[in-house]
Amino acid sequence: MTKADLIAVIEKQANLPHHQAEKIVNICFDSMIQALFDDERIEIRGFGSFANRNYKAYEGRNPKTGKVVKVSPKKVPFFKVGKELKEMVDEGKDKYVIREA
């Protein structure tokens, strides 16, 4: 699913104009991005959580040349799937997918 697909689903299910559905999705994503910038944890019950993982600086090697390369410290967003979502995916779409009337 792409961002455009998500906007289309919200537009259809909430019966909203396209620009409103797009604004809702953008507000949600922007809020999540800002929370990760601020080093906050995001938890969506039943879905999962997002948190930054911090990695220290280290010396690596370029696999082609074998030359030592210094890698600077970094933060990487990490997603951990929630128990309910994991179980839903495992059970299969026939049990959980919302069917249109």
Q: How confident is the model at residue 98 (pLDDT cuts 50, 70, 90)?
A: low
Is residue 58 assigned to a domain? Answer: no
Number of domains within the chain: 1
Q: What is the mean pLDDT of residues 2-31?
A: 97
Is residue 27 assigned to a domain? Answer: yes
pLDDT at 16 over 90: yes
Both tokens assigned to 100: 């249109």
Is residue 35 assigned to a domain? Answer: yes
Is residue 26 assigned to a domain? Answer: yes
List Cα–Cα distances, 53 to 10, 33, 44, 50, 59, in angstroms: 31, 15, 18, 10, 18
Domain of 29, in residue numbers: 1-40
Angle, CA 16 vertex, CA 12 and CA 18 arms, to 5°: 85
Both tokens assigned to 59: 């010396």
Q: What is the mean pLDDT of residues 69-85?
A: 95
Residues 36 and 52: beta-carbon distance below 8 Å: yes
Each residue's pLDDT tens digit, 41-51: 999 999 999 99
Q: Which stretch of DSSP H or E encloses residue 12?
A: helix 3-13
Is residue 71 assigned to a domain? Answer: no
Is residue 20 assigned to a domain? Answer: yes
CA distance linking residue 64 with residue 61, whole number of Å: 9
Q: How confident is the model at residue 94 (pLDDT cuts 50, 70, 90)?
A: low
Is residue 19 assigned to a domain? Answer: yes
Is residue 16 assigned to a domain? Answer: yes
